[in-house]
Amino acid sequence: MRYGWIAIALLVAPIAPPAMGQSSPSASHDAHVKATVMRDPVLPADGRGRMEYTLGQSIFERIWVSAPSSTEAADGLGPLFNARSCVACHPGGARPKALIDVQGVVPSLLLRLGRADGSPDPVYGVQFQTASVANVPAEGRLDLVMEESTVALSDGEVVQLRRPIAVVSALGYGAMAPDTVFGLRIGPAIHGIGPIDAIPTGEILSRADPDDQDGDGISGRPSLLDEGQSILGRFGWKAVQPDMKSQNAHAFMADLGLSSELFPDPYGECSATQTACRSAPSGASPQYGDLEVSPLLMEVLDRFVAEAVLPPVNPTDDADPASIARGKAIFGKAGCTACHRESYEVAWPAGSTALRRISPYSDLLLHDMGPGLAEFLAEGAADAAEWRTAPLWGLRWALDENGEGALLHDGRARNLLEAILWHGGEAQAARDRVVDLSAEERVALISFLSSL
């Protein structure tokens, strides 16, 4: 059987944590959490497909260990890393509902680094790794402080907003460059990734209007990643990855320090000046093509991520259907659908001749979101104030029973209303219309968004 050796490797792979170097609280979240997503029910119930999905889920949940270990199929972690499993950053396959827990900053929250000219920090690279294997210093500790502000709604209600500010300490490799700036990023849910990957590029480009020629105040532009402007970015908060496979491989490299065909360096983000990191053992194995994550493992992991969806029904959801319908109408009237495009027709699953309607509520374009959400860090083709329109489907699973979560790119918004109030730039007019709503209308709008 083609995948028999994978199944055996999964069964015997050790799950005991390896010896660690220095780490921040965010690196100590080591519980073996199983994903709670499910296989997309529209997919055919074939045995091979279910097997590959299950194997991929096992890779997603696996706790990786440092090299050398008794099981080469499960080693290669680091030498620098932020988490020891995919599910640590995507709990249950969803996004985290808080930025900090009893152990500190959650591993889902990562710190991007960069300089004004777009280059990485010369020592620490483009991502700050807070954990390391034995005998290798971690890059340092990440903490947060909150900057608070208030917004008054038209009916007199005052909403308190917060913005997390990254604070780094215990730097393991000396000072950062004086012009290095930060950008916090929270891990999204793995929901509907395959269908989004299947949206025709032309459909996304058809909504682009970078010069606002129609005069509606919305000037979304595609994230074109190459000099020839032929490669469209569609994944990541700044749309920096062109497809799902690149996104998954990059996460293995940057978050776990694991090499694959797309990112073959076994030392991941270790820079040339981090000599202890560069001299540590790696998990690159000749039997896996001198990689730590073999092409076959990536294949089943990609299948899992492509086919995973959050459950369609929230058992705690008791919202009034009439309120949801009214909220959807308010969402459109406020102008939110100018960026949060509701639906597409896609050929999904892959190879299907029939089209399926999906409703991610995103145009997948970059938009200037104003100074409130801007940061000094430019990333990919996006300017500091530009963000890819975040898909809204699966929002119900980003919130707890009280409607609270960690929303937006850095988890600053504790609920949906706060997330809306942070919108500016091209979304300023829509945001102001929400401010002017009555309390009853806002409840309806939140009911609709909470149902997605």
Band of pLDDT at residue 27, cut at 50, 70 and 90:
very low
pLDDT tens column, 152-174 = 999 999 999 999 999 999 999 99
pLDDT tens column, 237-254 = 999 999 999 999 999 999
The structure tokens listed for 104 are 């500190």
pLDDT tens column, 49-78 = 999 999 999 999 999 999 998 776 789 999
> What backbone phi and psi angles, to 5 degrees, belong to 115?
-125, 170
Helices (H), 265-408: 275-278, 295-307, 321-333
The structure tokens listed for 440 are 């009853």
**Structural contact between residues 300 and 4, judged by C-beta atoms closer than 8 angstroms:** no
Q: What's the confidence (pLDDT) of residue 166?
A: 98
Q: What's the confidence (pLDDT) of residue 33?
A: 66
Of 333, 294, 309, 336, which Cα lies nearest the Cα of 431?
Answer: 336
pLDDT tens column, 353-388 = 889 999 999 999 999 999 999 998 889 999 999 999
Query: How much of the chain is helix, strand and coil, in % rounded to 5?
Result: 30, 20, 55
Distances (CA, A) of 325 to 237, 315, 451: 29, 19, 10
Secondary structure element (H or E) that encloses residue 132, with its range = strand 131-132
pLDDT of 125 over the 60 cut: yes
Sign of CA dihedral 450, 241, 43, 52: negative
How far is 250 from 260, CA to CA, in rounded Å? 9
Q: SS3 of 82, please?
A: coil
pLDDT of 140 over the 60 cut: yes
- The DSSP symbol for 382 reads B
Cβ neighbors of 249 (< 8 A, separation 6 or more) are 260, 261, 262, 263, 293, 298
Band of pLDDT at residue 2, cut at 50, 70 and 90:
very low
Q: Indicate the residue type of 335.
A: G
The structure tokens listed for 342 are 């509701």
Peptide bond into 14 cis (omega under 30): no
How far is 142 from 100, CA to CA, in rounded Å? 11
Q: SS3 of 342, please?
A: coil
Task: Flag whether the pTM goes above 0.95.
Answer: no
Summarize the confidence of residues 85-90 as an average pLDDT: 96
Q: What's the confidence (pLDDT) of residue 314?
A: 52
**Structural contact between residues 248 and 308, judged by C-beta atoms closer than 8 angstroms:** no
Peptide bond into 68 cis (omega under 30): yes
How far is 339 from 435, CA to CA, in rounded Å? 18
Band of pLDDT at residue 327, cut at 50, 70 and 90:
very high
pLDDT tens column, 283-326 = 998 888 899 999 999 999 999 999 999 987 554 456 789 999 99
Of 220, 78, 221, which Cα lies nearest the Cα of 138?
Answer: 78
Q: What's the confidence (pLDDT) of residue 286?
A: 87
* C-alpha 264 chain-centroid distance: 22
How far is 260 from 290, CA to CA, in rounded Å? 9
Secondary structure element (H or E) that encloses residue 229, with its range = none
Q: What's the confidence (pLDDT) of residue 318?
A: 64
Of 142, 19, 7, 5, which Cα lies nearest the Cα of 77?
Answer: 19
How far is 251 from 255, CA to CA, in rounded Å? 5
pLDDT of 15 over the 90 cut: no
Q: What's the confidence (pLDDT) of residue 21?
A: 55
